[in-house]
Chains A and B, each alone.
Chain A
Amino acid sequence: NAGVMQNPRHLVRRRGQEARLRCSPMKGHSHVYWYRQLPEEGLKFMVYLQKENIIDESGMPKERFSAEFPKEGPSILRIQQVVRGDSAAYFCASSSVGSQTNEKLFFGSGTQLSVL
């Protein structure tokens, strides 16, 4: 039973380019969360999605960032016109049920985005 799969592991972009980060949740999981980790920091929540729906995007920057989780295929975190400050590790997590207090999230290995 494969875990949460994220790709690519490393992504290098020049300022102004677009970055697309992919996340395939664990089998049977329909809830996906995206987090960002800056150096020496904990993970910051960005967005929570279920299939075809954005449930909570309170942590997403208002501009340039978007996320989707289509009926078929992986969840995508898209960053348009990247800037150096977007350089970070982006983690995806999945769960089977949803936002219960006792619900464990399963994390992927992350995508390290570097903006030159």
Chain B
Amino acid sequence: AQKITQTQPGMFVQEKEAVTLDCTYDTSDPSYGLFWYKQPSSGEMIFLIYQGSYDQQNATEGRYSLNFQKARKSANLVISASQLGDSAMYFCAMRVRKAGTALIFGKGTTLSVSS
């Protein structure tokens, strides 16, 4: 069965510092995609970054990077130079080709950035 685990219910960081949000996944399918979404208090889901299982390099999108360690089945999100606007819930998600259509989500991590 496919599963996403986010073990940090809440994280706290000061402005301008970097923070890592953990995500581990479980699948036996060699072909899969990993996603991170941000959900601010307003409720919408905002796509941040994507990593494919066959990608050789870690994905980066501006201040976001994905630390992809395939052997450990981890896909941690790194946010550099945190900003107050980064305060939100962050969800890790996975899609497995064999499993069909569903994007499977973890339970999320709440990030609080303070000044």
Whether, in the assembled complex, A109 has its beta carbon less than 8 Å from a beta carbon of chain B, the answer is yes
Q: How far is the CB of B115 from chain A (nearest CB, A)?
A: 26
A104 pairs with B108, CB closer than 8 A: no
Q: How many residues of B contact A (CB 8 A)?
A: 29
A99 pairs with B101, CB closer than 8 A: yes
**Once bound together, how far apart are the Cα atoms of A59 and B101, in whole Å?**
11
**Once bound together, how far apart are the Cα atoms of A56 and B99, in whole Å?**
11
Our pick among A45, A58, A101, A109 for the contact of B53 (Cβ within 8 Å) is: A101
Chain A interface size band reads 20 to 34
B interface footprint on A87-116 (CB within 8 Å = 1, 0 otherwise)? 001010100001111111111111010000
Our pick among A42, A45, A101, A107 for the contact of B96 (Cβ within 8 Å) is: A101
Whether, in the assembled complex, A44 has its beta carbon less than 8 Å from a beta carbon of chain B, the answer is yes
Whether, in the assembled complex, B103 has its beta carbon less than 8 Å from a beta carbon of chain A, the answer is yes
B33 pairs with A101, CB closer than 8 A: yes
A42 pairs with B53, CB closer than 8 A: no
A33 pairs with B101, CB closer than 8 A: yes
Q: Which residue of A lies closest to B92 (CB)?
A: A42
How many residue pairs link A and B with beta carbons under 8 A? The number is: 74
Whether, in the assembled complex, A41 has its beta carbon less than 8 Å from a beta carbon of chain B, the answer is yes
The residues of B that contact A108 with a CB separation of less than 8 Å are 44
Q: Which residue of B lies closest to A40 (CB)?
A: B107
Within 8 A of A (CB), among B24-70: 31-33, 35, 37, 42-47, 50, 52-53
Whether, in the assembled complex, A48 has its beta carbon less than 8 Å from a beta carbon of chain B, the answer is yes
Q: How far is the CB of B34 from chain A (nearest CB, A)?
A: 9
Q: How far is the CB of A53 from chain B (nearest CB, A)?
A: 12
Whether, in the assembled complex, A43 has its beta carbon less than 8 Å from a beta carbon of chain B, the answer is yes
Residues on B lying within 8 angstroms of A by beta carbon are 4, 31-33, 35, 37, 42-47, 50, 52-53, 91, 93, 95-97, 100-108
